[in-house]
């Protein structure tokens, strides 16, 4: 029994020590050109934005719910809450803009734009990188504002 286990164990150890597995190879997905880098930045910004969309929609609902709740209060109480209502309306506007910015960017983005003209392609990708950065910032900042303003009610 020991004669079988020892050689088998040695074979397993030899295969386990092989350094050619993916954990030690440089990533094939690392950007190699400016174009690759721009595309990665655009994709990363899009992924960050998309990962926050459910939270953004939930924040829109919560802001609307807060505004609706204040709207049914007596007039004198509504007047007392006027400053808070203005802040909620501003946050709602910011959230709506962020949602719009994501939708607009997604419908207009063309990853295959100017594939045959490298110079035009780089200009296009740089422009899209700026757009996706603004869109991502709009989403993140509007969510931060919504979290802050809605914390007041908790």
Q: Domain range holding 40?
A: 33-151
pLDDT digits (tens, 9 = 90+) for 70-85: 999 999 999 999 999 9
Residue given tokens 């969510």 in the structure block: 143
- Asked whether the whole model's pTM tops 0.85, one would answer no
Query: Within a domain: residue 8?
Result: no
Let me know if residue 121 belongs to a domain.
Answer: yes
The count of structural domains within the chain is 1
Domain membership of residue 4 (yes or no) is no
User: Which pLDDT band holds residue 103 (cuts at 50, 70, 90)?
Assistant: very high
Distance of alpha carbon 2 from alpha carbon 13, whole angstroms:
16
Residue 18 falls within a domain, yes or no?
no
**Above 80 in pLDDT, residue 126?**
yes
Q: What is the mean pLDDT of residues 3-25?
A: 56
């Amino acid at each position: 029994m020991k004669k079988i286990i020892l050689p088998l164990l040695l074979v397993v150890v030899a295969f386990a020590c092989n350094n050619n597995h993916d954990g030690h190879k440089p990533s094939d997905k690392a950007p190699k050109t400016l174009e690759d880098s721009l595309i990665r930045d655009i994709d990363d910004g899009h992924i960050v934005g998309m990962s926050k969309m459910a939270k953004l929609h939930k924040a829109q609902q919560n802001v609307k719910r807060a505004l609706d709740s204040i709207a049914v209060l007596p007039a004198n109480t509504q007047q007392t809450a006027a400053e808070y209502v203005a802040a909620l309306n501003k946050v709602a506007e910011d959230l709506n803009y962020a949602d719009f910015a994501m939708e607009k960017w997604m419908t207009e983005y063309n990853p295959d734009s100017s594939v045959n003209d490298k110079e035009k392609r780089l200009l296009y990708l740089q422009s899209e990188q700026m757009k996706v950065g603004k869109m991502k910032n709009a989403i993140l900042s509007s969510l931060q504002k919504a979290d802050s303003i809605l914390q007041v009610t908790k």
